[in-house]
Amino acid sequence: MSEMKKIKNLKEFSTSADRFEGANLLCPGCAHSIIVREILNATNDPVVLSASTGCLEVCTAVYPYTSWDASWIHIGFENSSTAIAGAEAMYKALQRKNRLPDSCEGKSPKFIAFGGDGATYDIGFQWISGCFERGHDMMYVCLDNEVYANTGGQRSSATPIGASTTTSPAGRVSYGEKMNKKDMVQIMAAHGSPYVAQVAPNKWKDMIKKIQKGFSTKGPVYINAMSACTTEWKFAPDDTIAVSDLATDSLVFPLYEIENGTKLTITYRPKNKIPVRDYLGAQGRFKHLFKPEYEYLIDEWQKRVDDYWEYLQRREEAGV
């Protein structure tokens, strides 16, 4: 087992040599690459990566270019988790038979699968569930931008109530998406996973801590990373970090972790809690909610977020 990379502060962190390259085709201001960089820079161990179909995959492997300076594989929409689980199983088998090449000696590669919320919440769910049941030593990172952004902004089961997407458009008769977001973090915790956490790129220190904790954990780790989408959430590209701040400070995306399926810890408590209204107001996909006839939905939002925060706090206090 190699030593964990020590990251005391941002200056020290900035000496990392990125294993993710620019001139990928992600939109300007996309949070996906911020998350990927933070995760890959959190370790000095070799990494084995896979990506489900989604923005990250189609934009970082456009023929004839690859943006990855590490082993990376893409198979299908649903199976980044099983692809990386297969690689992990093969590695273990070779290790057991003493057939690993010499260059692998003394190294402990990290197996990481990336998927968008479409690949995680909908299409790849069965596969991820299988991987977590089998208990592979891997990390699954969901880049949660709450929409199928790659194909033009269709709703996914991560899309929250009231968001206008191309398949749940807001207009005269509808306020947009009608179903609430699936609580994927709790579902993955219910698999009995040793470590499950929700992270946000703007809280980089919290994120690095959780990623490193995930790396040092044996078994399947699930990370839900909030990824603000400038194109589909409809805000200016330079506001990515500002909108992410609004999301974490309004507690729409509370940052917490769950160990061994039960022990919940809240890792970030905003000093100044921001009303959910500010978070919604910063994004074009929610602008119809500010019409008088839909204003009641904002109050419902606030209540839902407050209730969930209350629930998290009660669980943390009870330690279950």
Q: Is 87 helix (H, G, I), strand (E, B) or coil?
A: helix
- Say if residues 113 and 36 touch (Cβ distance below 8 Å): no
In the bound state with other proteins, the residue whose beta carbon lies nearer, of 79 and 240, is 240
Considering the rule CB under 8 A, would residue 38 count as an interface residue with other proteins?
Answer: yes
DSSP conformation letters of 161-184: TT--BTTB-BSSS-BS--SPPP-H
Measured CA distances, 29 to 18, 230, 243, 286 (Å): 18, 7, 11, 20
Q: Sign of dihedral through CA atoms 270, 42, 218, 134?
A: positive
Structure-token match 């009303």, residue found? 275
Cα separation, 186 vs 88, in Å, equals 25
Q: Which of 184, 216, 225 is nearest to 55 (CA)?
A: 225
How many residues in the chain? 320
The two tokens of residue 41 are 């820079």
In the bound state with other proteins, the residue whose beta carbon lies nearer, of 90 and 179, is 90
In the bound state with other proteins, the residue whose beta carbon lies nearer, of 106 and 319, is 106
In the bound state with other proteins, the residue whose beta carbon lies nearer, of 82 and 193, is 82
The CB density around residue 6, as the number of other CB atoms within 10 Å, is 9
Considering the rule CB under 8 A, would residue 200 count as an interface residue with other proteins?
Answer: no
- Residues 223-282 interacting with other proteins (rule: CB under 8 A): 230, 236-242
Q: Judged by CB under 8 A, how many residues of this single chain contact other proteins?
A: 55
In the bound state with other proteins, the residue whose beta carbon lies nearer, of 5 and 191, is 5
The single residue among 24, 165, 193, 198 that binds other proteins, judged by CB under 8 A, is 24
In the bound state with other proteins, the residue whose beta carbon lies nearer, of 81 and 244, is 244
The CB density around residue 8, as the number of other CB atoms within 10 Å, is 8
Considering the rule CB under 8 A, would residue 28 count as an interface residue with other proteins?
Answer: yes
Stretch that binds other proteins, among 48-56, 62-70, 160-168, 267-275 (CB under 8 A): 62-70
Considering the rule CB under 8 A, would residue 69 count as an interface residue with other proteins?
Answer: yes
Minimum distance, C-beta of residue 28 to other proteins, in the bound complex (Å): 4
Minimum distance, C-beta of residue 238 to other proteins, in the bound complex (Å): 3
Minimum distance, C-beta of residue 155 to other proteins, in the bound complex (Å): 25
Considering the rule CB under 8 A, would residue 104 count as an interface residue with other proteins?
Answer: no
CA contacts within 13 A on the Cβ side of 116: 30
- Say if residues 207 and 256 touch (Cβ distance below 8 Å): no
The single residue among 6, 8, 11, 271 that binds other proteins, judged by CB under 8 A, is 11
The single residue among 1, 63, 101, 105 that binds other proteins, judged by CB under 8 A, is 63
Give me the residues that bind other proteins (CB under 8 A), please: 10-34, 37-38, 40-41, 43-46, 60-70, 201-202, 204, 230, 236-242
